């Protein structure tokens, strides 16, 4: 983000409401919370506080996901909406531990080395949901971590949720005629994914990519059903979410009188 050549991408994805110095620093802090010092290449130690379960542990109710037959007994990944299935979710466990689960189809997606092989030929010439995030497991992992309050909320001050999905709709949000809608880019998980991916692939592939186009009508089966809305996952509605008498690995700085 410090490279001047990538500055236009900040407004491209986050819009004119967050492209000034203050917005830039806030967005940088989100990524810093995720990456940390990265001395061993594994990112921030904060990431290790999140449990990744192989079991599809969330069984939503109809009130949580209306109109898909959710009844509190069916695992999330088995539900369908308009022929589409879910990808992943960030959802605290019953004992309030931060956790996430990735549906089986995510594990069929490839890694960075495979995606950028052969001079990045698999990526095409434009920013593409179909070619990029539907083929790259790292994009799905980054998206879910944006929902973790110690990554996103601690930097932004508000839970990062899901306003819109995919590259085309994220770009449309950034240039929405309604200024109140444009402001929402900073709390939209997929916006962080697309901003990071475009910079990364521009550098790794030594090429510029054209902007995204609407691919939703190309192959409807290729569009994931949106994942869970983590806005419902904050039981304290923004208040300090730990025991004020002690610290846990998931404690924000406000806990235990600021001693965490």
Question: 111: which 2 tokens?
Answer: 């890694």
Question: 12: which 2 tokens?
Answer: 């491209």
Predicted confidence (pLDDT) per residue in 116-148, tens digit: 999 999 999 999 999 999 999 999 999 999 999
For residue 43, name the pLDDT band (cuts at 50, 70, 90). confident
Query: Is the model's pLDDT at 27 over the cut of 70?
Result: yes
Q: How far apart are CA 134 and CA 26, in angstroms?
A: 28
Q: What are phi and psi of 229, to 5 degrees?
A: -85, 110
Question: 113: which 2 tokens?
Answer: 């080395």
- What is the Cα 188 distance to its own chain's centre? 7
What domains are defined for the chain? Answer: 4-258 (3.40.390.10)
- What is the Cα 58 distance to its own chain's centre? 18
Q: How far apart are CA 27 and CA 47, in angstroms?
A: 18
E strands present in the chain: 51-52, 80-81, 84-85, 88-90, 99-102
Query: Is the model's pLDDT at 243 over the cut of 60?
Result: no
Which residues neighbour 4 within 8 Å (Cβ) at sequence distance 6 or greater? none
Predicted confidence (pLDDT) per residue in 173-195, tens digit: 999 999 999 999 999 999 999 99
For residue 219, name the pLDDT band (cuts at 50, 70, 90). low
**Tally of helices (H runs) and strands (E runs) in the chain:** 9, 5
Predicted confidence (pLDDT) per residue in 248-259, tens digit: 555 555 554 554
For residue 55, name the pLDDT band (cuts at 50, 70, 90). very high
């Amino acid at each position: 983000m410090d490279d001047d050549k990538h500055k236009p991408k900040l407004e491209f994805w986050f819009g004119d409401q967050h492209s000034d110095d203050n917005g830039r620093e806030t967005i940088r802090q989100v990524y810093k919370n995720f990456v940390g010092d990265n001395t061993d290449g594994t990112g921030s130690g904060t990431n290790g506080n999140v449990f990744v379960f192989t079991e599809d542990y969330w069984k939503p109710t109809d009130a949580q996901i209306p109109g898909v037959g959710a009844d509190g007994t069916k695992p999330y990944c088995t539900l369908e909406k308009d022929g589409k299935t879910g990808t992943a979710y960030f959802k605290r466990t019953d004992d309030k531990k931060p956790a996430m689960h990735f549906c089986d189809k995510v594990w069929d997606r490839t890694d960075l080395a495979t995606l950028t092989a052969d001079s990045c030929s698999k990526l095409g010439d434009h920013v593409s949901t179909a070619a990029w995030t539907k083929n790259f497991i790292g994009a799905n992992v980054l998206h879910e971590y944006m929902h973790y309050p110690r990554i996103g909320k601690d930097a932004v001050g508000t839970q990062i949720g899901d306003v819109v999905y995919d590259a085309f709709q994220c770009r449309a949000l950034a240039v929405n005629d309604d200024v109140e809608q444009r402001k929402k880019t900073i709390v939209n998980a997929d916006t962080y994914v697309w901003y990071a991916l475009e910079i990364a692939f521009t550098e790794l592939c030594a090429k510029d990519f054209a902007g995204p186009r609407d691919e939703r009508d190309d192959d409807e089966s290729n569009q994931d059903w949106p994942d869970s809305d983590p806005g419902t996952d904050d039981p304290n509605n923004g208040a300090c979410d730990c025991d004020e008498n002690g610290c846990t690995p998931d404690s924000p700085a406000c806990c235990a009188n600021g001693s965490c």
